[in-house]
Amino acid sequence: MDQIEEEHKIIHLEIKYTTEIHKNVPIDLNGTVLKFQETLQEILKVPIEKQKIMIKGSLLKQDQNLSKLNLKNGQQIMVMGAREEHLLNLKQGKKIFEEDLTPEQKAIFLKQKAGIVLPIGLVNQGNTCYMNASIQILRRVNELNEYVKNNAKQGQGPSVKLFNALNDVFQKLELKGEPFKPLNFMTIFFQLYPEFAQRDNPMTFKQQDADECFQNILQTIQPLTNYENEEGQQKNLISDLFEIELKATIENQDIPDEPKKVSVEKGKKLMCIIDNQSKPVNTLVEGITVSLEEQMEKISETDQQTHIYKKTQRISKLPSYLLCQMVRFYWKIGVQGKEGVKAKILRNVAFPKILDLFDFCAPELQEQLQTGRDYEKKKNLEMAAKETDELEQFKKDLEASGKMVPDDTREIYKQFKAKKQQEEIKNHDDQLYRKHGFGLVTGNYELIGVLTHTGREADSGHYMAWVHHSGDNWICYDDEKTSERKIEHILDLRGGGDWHMGYYLLYRRLEIE
């Protein structure tokens, strides 16, 4: 037996699946990943197509060579994926129908047994929709969500209290199973930022700006997100996730020979200017372009006279997550003795599912990105050729099975794509949410969250969060109410009327394997 195991290079692993630990699970290092997945299917009852196997933080792929993974006897690996169960089984062996469970029991069992997290809303506590929407968008940042849930802080300072309150909210959103009031979080946030606690009347608070809420949350918890990376370097998670570095160049437009002034500026969002001094802005890209180029008057050090200067900003460091703010609110000066108001620009400004930042990057960064872009083109051509071969095989399989083969090529392709749909969704999600730092960067980002505002004034109206779920499926969070949406509904949130319109956009950086 020992000779056979040595010949096949069999070792035994420890498998962690949800809360379960399975020890002494055999794996043949000379075998295939598929064969190992069959073993896992037998033990865990998770179908092969739904299995996600994590080894040292990376997702195992079916074409990988197991013998080169440096696996050791007794090493623990994590497996995720939904079991195909119509009933949820209690530890005592009793079978309970889903409809007999309380909302919290249902959420816990779905999470533990099937890896499914139910979309749960937050109850509005009187014009606190801006806060609810901000929390739901923040929660879509997987790395931040996991860090906050797994790192409760010690101490009684206000920042620690807010961090731990956010920890509690994130935990409940995952396991409570029904909408709830984030009362403790709101109370601590109001203590930190009393201006948000102002009231319209004894029953409701004043409407507030979601951008200010969002940025205040990040600013407060940022000092509590320091960590040490695998190389022993001290890092900060908020900086890693959101910080953008911009190379700013200021040039004298009247004296071209005057030396340029170059500096590095940092921020956590890009602005999309909509009110462009009577020059219409129709897209997010146009608005970002305007925000990164501006003219100003200043005194020249050359002749001590006032001149026109041009400031140009270009990105020198890309963030993992890109926040874009549509600058829809502005101060409208009152006339005829009336008090000024914070007004809103309703203009239709389209934003894309995939945002390309290449043209906004500094030349040095563009050189790095070009390697990834060239490789992406090559990979896309290879994938197109592979799909063509698969389509031809699909036609042959139809004919061999005796099924009717449509004369219309488009109908055949439609059937072919329908068959591959689940595989493509899985591949898309894996690629979108893969761990950063292990692929080539191209400058492309994919939309995963939209915070919207409806209404004609900033101090009223309603905020909602629209969050990517899987594939082209999204979840709309309207306070405690949740509903499913498709990507086409999300791209319609561009404004132009009284419908919900994008105010805050969250994109995630794409990397190519």
8 A C-beta contact, residue 147 and residue 320? no
> In this predicted structure, which of 95-109, 119-133, 209-223, 389-403 has the lowest mean pLDDT?
95-109
Strand pairing class (52-55; 76-80): antiparallel
> How many residues in total does the chain contain?
513
pLDDT tens digit sequence for 324-378: 999 998 877 767 777 777 788 889 999 999 999 999 999 999 999 999 999 999 9
What is the per-residue pLDDT for 42?
82
Tell me the pLDDT of the chain averaged across its residues. Answer: 87
Of 165, 151, 149, 82, nearest to 117 by C-alpha is 82
DSSP3 helix / strand / coil % (the chain, rounded to 5): 35, 30, 35
Q: In this structure, what token pair is assigned to residue 283?
A: 């897209």
What is the per-residue pLDDT for 503?
96
8 A C-beta contact, residue 208 and residue 215? no
Instruction: Tell me the pTM.
Output: 0.77
What is the per-residue pLDDT for 341?
72
The CA–CA distances, whole Å, from 162 to 152, 166, 174, 188 equal 11, 6, 19, 6
Rounded Cα distance, 313 and 17, in Å: 47
3-state SS record for 405-453 = CCCCHHHHHHHHHHHHHHHHHHHHHHHHCCCCCCCEEEEEEEEEEEEEE
pLDDT tens digit sequence for 254-304: 998 999 999 999 999 999 999 867 788 999 999 999 999 999 998 998 899
Strand pairing class (270-273; 321-327): parallel
